[in-house]
Structures are given as structure tokens and as C-alpha cells.
Amino acid sequence: MISELVAWLTDPAHWSGPEGIPQRLLEHLGYSLLALAIAALIGIPLGMYIGHTGRGTFLVAGLANALRALPTLGLLILVTLPLISRLPGNLGFLVPSIAVLVVLAVPPILTSTYAGVQGVDLAAKDAAYGMGMTGQEVLTKVEAPCALPLVFSGLRSAMLQIVATATIAAYVGLGGFGRYVLDGLAVRDYSQMLAGAVLVAALAVVVEVVLAGAQRLTVPRGLAVGARESRSR
């Protein structure tokens, strides 16, 4: 099995053309990044607002957790069937696929953002207000930077789920690494299936490493998780 997998992965025919690994990688990354960007645009501002004001915590936490329980493939088909005839061209497949990935990714981003903002040291917030900062300034200059490590951890876990789940886009005729898994399954070509699964896992690891690097670069040094731990010790 392993040698067949290696043979499949090293076959030059699988590295070029519209069904080659580079093309599938671009598709898979494309769906994943688009979904992550949309989910971040929804999750981070909403999480900041809730964390800052404390309003709607109960409602949003409940809703976010309920969203996590939705079966993604079922949701995909449910969303695809009505949209397929209403949207032109590939959008009928693309919009539902991205939408379900967004639904999957918003909860971890949203919950970790509001938890991050809410968890900011009360003393720091008091000090900021004491210096005469407005609510908005406290949010952008104190709470948001302090919440960054947790926001990043939300983004990372969201991206991990997106990359793994973007395979289902293949179910409605789109590309990505899921093609190898589904097409392999359809013709009992298990080395192709396994190659698809391995590629998804490898991509997830690479993306995780890249995001961890981004976190290192953007989070202020004093707030980095390691720094905080060593300080509190």
C-alpha cells in the first residue's frame, strides 16, 4: 500500500495538467483561504463587539456551538440544491461549498475572539480608561492586541478544519484534493484515495506552520503565549 502510494505521488503524470497535484493544490488552497477570510470578517468583528460590550454572550456562544454540530456534507447538499439553478456557471457549486466552510469556521474564530477580549486583564482596561481612552480606543489599542494570541489560535483551528473539510467541495463537482479521494473511491483506486488524504494532511500541517509563523510575527512580544506564561511563573 505504501509503495503504491509513493508510486502514485511520484508519477510525473500526476504533477501536471488540469488534474495534476499543483492545480488541485491551488484549488484547495483557494477555497480554504476564501472561506477563512470570509469567516474572519464575520467572526473577528462580532467577537470583538461581544467581548467588549459583553452583550449577547449567551446567545452567540450557544449559536456558535450549535453551528459546530451541523453535518457539513448534509448542509452542503441542502444549500447546493436550491442555489445550483439560481447562480450562473460554477458559482452554483462554489457559493454553497464556501458557505458551508464559512459556517464551519466562524464558531472557533468567534468564540476565541470574544474569549480573548473578555479575558483581558481588568487592571489593564481600568488603566486605559483611567488614561482617558474612549471605549473604542480601549478596544483597538488595549483589548484587541491583548486578545491577538487567542484570535490567532481561533484562526488556526478554523483553518485546520477548513483545509480538512474542503475535500467535500469535490462532492458537488468542484476541484481540490477531495477530487482524488472521491474519484479514487468511485473506481476503487485506493492509492489515489490515500494520496488525496495524505496531501490534505500535509497541506494542513504546512498551513498550520505558516499561521504559527504569522502569529509570531504579528503578536507583540510581551503578549506571546510563552512570554505570558514565563511572566506569571
Partner 1 sequence: MSFTRAILAALTVGVLALAGCGSGNDPLREDTEQQNTSESGDSIIVGSANFPEAVLLGEIYAAALEAHDVDVQRKLNIGAREAYIKALEDGSIDLVPEYTGVLLQYFDKEATAAKPDEVYAALQEAVPDEFMVLEKSSAEDKDAVVVTRETAEKYDLKTIADLAPHAKDLVLGGPPEWKTRPTGVPGLKEVYGAEFKSFIPLDVAGPVTVAALKGGRVDAANLFTTQSAIEQNDFVVLEDPKLLFTAQNVVPLISKDKASETVVDTLNGISAKLDTPTLRDLVARVEVDKEDPATVAKDWLTENGLA
Q: Identify which of residues 61 and 73 has a Cβ nearer to partner 1 in the complex.
A: 73
Nearer to partner 1, 89 or 130 (CB): 89
Query: Restricting to residues 6-65, which ones interact with partner 1 according to CB under 8 A?
Result: none
In angstroms, the CA 102 to CA 96 distance is 10
170, 193, 195, 207: which one binds partner 1 (CB under 8 A)? 170
User: Site for partner 1 (CB under 8 A): which residue of 182, 197, 200, 203?
Assistant: 182
Nearest-approach distance from CB 92 to partner 1, in angstroms: 5
Q: How many residues bind partner 1 (CB under 8 A)?
A: 19
Asked if 4 interacts with partner 1 (CB under 8 A), we say no
Q: Which stretch binds partner 1 (CB under 8 A): 56-64, 156-164, 167-175, 199-207?
A: 167-175
Q: Report residue 96: phi and psi, to 5°.
A: -60, -40
Task: Give yes or no for residue 97 binding partner 1 (CB under 8 A).
Answer: no
Question: Is 85 a binder of partner 1 (CB under 8 A)?
Answer: yes
Nearer to partner 1, 34 or 77 (CB): 77
Which residue from 172, 194, 195, 203 is in contact with partner 1, where contact means CB under 8 A?
172
What is the contact surface with partner 1 in residues (CB under 8 A)? Answer: 77, 80-81, 84-86, 89, 92-93, 170-173, 179, 182-183, 185-187
